[in-house]
Structures are given as structure tokens and as C-alpha cells.
Amino acid sequence: MADKNYSVPPANSSGFFRPGRGGAAVKPKNMKGTLYRLWQLTRGKRNGLGFIFLLSALGSAAAILSPYVTGKAVTVISTRGAISGILACLMGLYLCDWLVKFLQQYLMASIVQRIIHHIRSTLFEKMRELPISFFDRRQHGELMSRLTNDIDNISTTISNSLTSLMTHCFTVVGILVMMLYLSPLLTLVSLLGVAMIFMLTKIVTGKTRKLFAMQQKNLGSLNGQVEESISGLAVVKAFCREEQMEIDFEERNDALYQASVKALIWSGYLMPLMNVINNLCFVLIAVISSIMFVNGSISSIGLITSFLLYMRQFTRPFVDIANIYNSFQTAVAGAERIFEILDEQSEPEDIPNAYSLKRPRGDFEFNHVWFGYDPNRPVLKDICLKIPAGTQVAIVGPTGSGKTTLINLLTRFYDVTSGSITLDGHDLREYKQSDLRDAFGVVLQDTALFAESVKYNISYGHKGATMEQIREAAKIAGADGFIERMPKGYDTILEQGGQELSQGERQLLTIARAVLADAPIMILDEATSSVDTVTERKIRRAMLNICKSRTSFIIAHRLSTIRDSDLIILIENGEIAEQGTHDELMAAGGKYASMYRTQTGE
């Protein structure tokens, strides 16, 4: 089926188009911009964050008030006063702190999952809208990594860090006010330590952000290689490429290992260094406050106690905020990769007042059509062709000549570079895209079956089909016989995309699906290329049944299957080399005749 042309992306096993094998490069974006886009993306899904915000303010009250109350307790003890009331106050503060944090976590779980559900749905919806050319440039596994790993990283970061970040912000402001109230001089000394923490955080996170972005990129590449290796394992074993597959895996795994180690080492610098700064500030405050107490600048020992506790709590949120900020690197790297997809251009929208297309006659005309996957390297060159309604058209030619590309243009998986293709007198681009594709029934060389029942696979895309219609479609396709011999007949669940069936049986199921669709235009792409001669006859009979009285396009390498076609087109190097009926082309004695004699031995 696949056209192999240097300007054509690699072949894909599930359709006309060819998802490529190259990974997408990570585009660096500033954290502020990415977080702002996340905020905008989740608009309308953040209901409840205001209450979380209020709870964070209440939760910080315990951290703000408890050192002051503790200092009062020390002062009362030093003067041998009654302390029971102060202790009761402290117990109440700590109990309220526990209750607020419980409510925060309880509510945050629901909010975060709602946000992540929206992001995941938005990304998947965007992928559905993207043109085939996007998937030509991406690995399947790499895209799966964005839908799973990157979104999970965002989920983990938000759920674990957002409430803490809110609480810490309130705590820092409240403690700063209390420290200024107790001693402006000691507060100034404390702020010097905070400045050092900020400088350290900026240096470390500037490095870790790039490393975490590289980690996510390498993880996507590894996932893509694993997906390819598993899906193509039979080919790998057949060509004894297990060792090379393992080498490729080790290269990607090692790249992920190196990026992960560097990212974790750099992020690991942050906490120990910040703890050193924090401890040095604590000692400095203790010394200065003791001197001030001796000199009489501080009136009570309880004030020193309160300020030391405030100083410890004041720097601790900065340590935690820096740690949260450091953990954001993974989430931001994942968010950037998600926004790369969301920023991709979707398939062209229907033009204003596009025509509806319900039951087209099937008159096609190619007017000087040029097309190339790379605009500088055309695959199809000046194709001019008229196909009357009801014509059975066979497209033949050597591998890489442009046969499948021609079909891609008919279904508008790609649009022509220049020229036009008309259906019933109107350019394909003038029709509603959904109507146009609904007008085609497609049978591919590579069968696409799902891990569902046989009847589900036959009725795919036609939920309202009755069992009688499904059975009749299977009979017309010649599939009813082997389906009835299956353990549960039409209710049998196909495992791993029907791998327990033969290639011919899988092909007959896809033909039955096309029969049920009853589309006015049929496309059969190499439907008999991978089956034996007996199965080929069955498939050929089924093909004749579904192509009767409707425009149909058949791509074939086995020329014996298309000799009864109304029109045979030989494409070579992207150009129409010959066209006519089988008898006409055989009488002409050209390339088609030579190919036919070579295959049949006549």
C-alpha cells in the first residue's frame, strides 16, 4: 500500500497517512508566561479556589500567632505567672490549623482532578482536530507521553504544591508584620538571609528548568522507541534485530538517565544550601538579640523567643517556596510541551457557505494537480484526469510512484499544492469536510480492528445498525461463514486488534464494515496484497459486490484483481504514464502490459 518516496513521510500501519519517527523539540518558554496560559486554559474549572484561598489565610494564622503566644508564655513563666490560659490558646491554634489543612486537602483533591480532566480533554480534542501532516512529524509514543506523563506531572505539582504555596504566602506576609512590630532591626538582619536565599534559588532553578525540559523530551523519545519496538516486535525478530533494538533503547534510556541525574543533582543543591543560610541567620539573630537584651534594648526574654521562632518560620516558607518552585520545573516543562500541541494549526475549517454532500454522483476531475509533502519536492506532477460517475478505477504503478498520495488528496487528508480536484462539478474544498469524508467507504491493506466484539467492529461508525444489517453486510463480504464458527459468533471479542484472525479474515471484516457504510464512493487500498490466492478470490468477489454501480478507486499490485476495471491508470514518478482498459493497455504493449505478463507468466 505505502508509497515510498524520499519526500513522503514513513508509512503508518493504520491508514493512508504516515506518522513520522522524529520527536518534537522542546521550545523553552518563561515560567511566568506558561503558568499564565495554564491559568487562562483552566478558566471556569477553578471553582472553589477562592474558598481554598480563604482557608490558606486561616491556616497561616496558627503559624503567625503561635510564636507570639509562645513568647508570652515564656515571659509569664519567667515571672512565675499563670500559664494555663496561654496553653489553652496554643492548643486551640494547633487544632484549628489541623482542621483547616484537612479541609484544604479534601477540597483540593476535587478541584485539581477537575482541572486536569479539562486539560486532558482539551489536549485530546486538539489532537482530533489536527491535520494528518502533524502526525507525520511525530512519534506515537511521544504524543502518548504528552497525554499521560506531562499531564500527570502537572496534576502532581498542583495537588501537592498549590495549597502550600498559598499558605506560605500568607504566612510570610503575616510573620513579616509581626517581626517588624517586635524589632525592626532584627527584621532587617533576617531579610539579608532571605535575599541570599532568593539569589541561590534564581541560580539553581535557572539551570534545573532546562534540565527538566530535557528530561521530559528524552522521556517522550524513550516512550516512542518502546512503542515502536513492541508494535513491530515480529519484524524485529524476523530480521534478527533484537540486539540493535536493545542498543537503540539503551541510547535513549541513557540519555534520559543522564538528563534526570543532572536535573536531580542540581535541584538537590537547593535545600542543603538554604538550610545552611537559614541556620547561620538563626545564630546571628540569637547573638544580636542576646546583646540587645543585655543592653536593655529588649525588655523581655519572651520577645527573643518569639523573634527566634518567627525568624525560623519566616525563612522556612522561603525554603519551601523555593522547593515548590524547583518542583514546578517538571510541570512547566510538561505544560510547554502541551501548549506546543495546542498552538498547532488545526485542519482548515470549512469555507463560509460550504456545500453539503449527502449522496454524490461520483464525477471526479483532476485539473493540473500538483502536490508534494515537501513543497520543493513534488510527488504528483500535473495530473489531469476525468472519472465519470460509477466508474471503477484501478490505480497501479511501482512503489513510491504516488498511488496512495492520490487517494490522500481525494479524502482531503492533504490539500493539493496547485490545481484542483472536483467532485460533481465543485472543488473538494468547497464541500463540508465531514460530509466529504462520510461519502467515502474505505478498505485498507492494514486492517484497523478494535478489541471489541465482531459486530462492534463491523458496525464501527454506524451505532444504529441492526443485527440483521450487520449479518447481511458480513454475508455480502463473505465473512459470515468464519464468524459463525467463532466461539460466540458476532459477540466474540477480538483480542489485540484481531490478531487471532488470519490476514484474510481481518480484511473481510473491514470489507463488511465498508458494505454496511454503503458509501457512494469506495476506496480499496491494496486489499489483497497480503493474502493467499484462495482468500484473494473471496476478497475480489466481495470487492466486486461493494463497487457495483458506484465510483470506486482500487489500488493494487496484483494486476489480476483489477483486470475488469473500467479504467486502469498507471502512475510512474508522480505522472500518469498510461491509462485505459485492461484490453487497451495490453494491446498497446506498454509498461502495464509488461508488468501484467511478468506477474501472470503469460
Query: To which H or E segment does residue 126 belong?
Result: helix 84-129
Report which of residues 93 and 371 the model is more confident about. Answer: 371
Q: Tens of pLDDT along 430-457? A: 999 888 988 888 887 777 788 889 999 9
69-76: long-range pairs with CB below 8 Å, 24+: 69/93, 70/305, 70/306, 70/309, 71/300, 71/302, 71/303, 71/304, 71/305, 71/306, 71/307, 71/309, 72/302, 72/306, 73/302, 74/301, 74/302, 74/305, 74/306, 75/300, 75/301, 75/302, 75/303, 76/302
pLDDT of residue 210: 81
Q: What are the structural domains, with CATH classification, of the chain?
A: 1-15+362-439+521-531+543-602 (3.40.50.300), 47-342 (1.20.1560.10), 446-518 (3.40.50.300)
pLDDT digit string, tens, across residues 323-340: 677 677 778 888 888 888
* Burial tier of 528 (Cβ tally within 10 Å: 0-12, 13-18, 19+): buried
Q: Which residue has the higher pLDDT, 436 or 271?
A: 436
CB under 8 A, 24+ apart: contacts of 246-253 = 249/222, 249/225, 252/218, 252/221, 252/222, 252/225, 253/222
Instruction: Please tell me the least confidently modeled range out of 204-213, 524-533, 561-570.
Output: 524-533
What predicted TM-score, i.e. pTM, was given to this entire model?
0.64
Q: What is the pLDDT of residues 293-324, one digit of tens each?
A: 888 777 788 888 888 888 878 877 776 776 67
Taking residues 404-430, report their average pLDDT: 90
Mean pLDDT (whole number) for 15-38: 52
pLDDT more than 70, % of the chain: 91
> Across the chain, what does the average pLDDT equal?
81
pLDDT for res 529: 60
Most confident of 196-205, 350-359, 538-547: 350-359
Give residue 530's pLDDT: 58
- Give residue 30's pLDDT: 64
Mean pLDDT of 37-51: 83
Q: Which three cell numbers stand for residue 421?
A: 480536484
Q: When comparing pLDDT for 491 and 557, which is higher?
A: 491
Segments of 29-144 assigned E as strands: none
Answer whether residue 4 shows pLDDT above 60.
Answer: no
Question: Could you give the C-alpha distances from 417 to 414, 423, 571, in angstroms and in order?
Answer: 9, 18, 18
> What b-and-e string marks burial along 156-177, b requiring 16 or more CB atoms within 10 Å of the CB?
ebbbebbbbbbbbbbbbebbbe
Query: What's residue 583's pLDDT?
Result: 92
Residue 552 · residue 533 · CB < 8 Å: no
